[in-house]
Amino acid sequence: MSQERSLVALTQFTATSDPERNFGVIRDLVEQAKACRAEMVFVPEAFDYIGESGRESLALSESIDGPRMTKYTQLARDNQIWLSLGGFHEKVSGKELMYNTHVVVDCNGSIISKYSKAHLFDVDIKGKVSLKESDYFMPGSAIVPPVETPVGKIGLGICYDVRFPELSLSLAKQGAEILTYPSAFTVATGLAHWEVLLRARAIETQCYVIAAAQTGKHNEKRQSYGHSMVVDPWGCVIAQCREGTGICLALIDRAYIKQVKSQMPVSDHRRNDLYTEVKAI
């Protein structure tokens, strides 16, 4: 059972198509977080690599029990720290597609939960952004129940999932205290919607929202918005990474979640007789 107040760390960096280089960056950031006495580190979507093409991404993908994930579970064990690994390119046996999988690793290096991204980002805005994840990813088929960690019960999402309140409400109904959306938001959508979406999800669920993000130019075709942040249950941004590679720290206060819910009891005021209830899984 987690304590009432816990320190978390968010990482932010610019992944490339070199998994070994990316691991080295994350290892350094995790060690920084450990030195700051964080209990859990949150890593962005596509932390393992960002390929220059769908074909390259498929070629680089590995199974969840392969050598690449083994290095990350060893990293958690070596530092005795929990990791939220925000979006692993999980190879699907017998298919020319992958899952985008969020993996939670405990301080002993054991994988205790994983969730595959349900909502795929297929968008073409002329002159701004063109990306079709369904060309090389399979959508996940289930909402994963919140996982108990030293910092609270965490509901797992990934990036584009943040636009769908049905997911966040379902996780909150199942007891989530924290929602996490590791991301690689495009610059165009990030400038317009990143902060407001994260704050909205926090306000409507009365949960903390943790969103570690990719930042900067990955290659000639891809650039990410950055601005890793933590939002509290009242909708206030309480931590945010500066530009570039680094970490930020935030205190998760479970007593404050209870306080917000008691002072603004929206869950008691839902008019399920007027609209379809978001059902828990």
- What is the DSSP annotation of 172-187? HHTT-SEEE--B--BH
Query: How far is residue 9's CA from residue 202's CA, in Å, rounded to a whole number?
Result: 18
Query: How far is residue 101's CA from residue 117's CA, in Å, rounded to a whole number?
Result: 6
Q: Does 159 participate in catalysis according to the annotation?
A: yes
Among 129, 137, 152, smallest CA distance to 221 is for 129
Quote the DSSP letter at residue 37.
Answer: T
Q: Pick the catalytic residue from 39, 133, 153, 159.
A: 159
Q: C-alpha angle with apex 233: 223 to 115, nearest 5 degrees?
A: 55
Specify whether the CB–CB gap between 73 and 105 falls below 8 A.
Answer: yes
Q: Pick the catalytic residue from 45, 90, 133, 177.
A: 45
Q: Does 117 participate in catalysis according to the annotation?
A: yes
Q: Pick the catalytic residue from 91, 114, 117, 153.
A: 117
Query: How far is residue 101's CA from residue 45's CA, in Å, rounded to a whole number?
Result: 9
| Catalytic machinery residues | 45, 117, 159
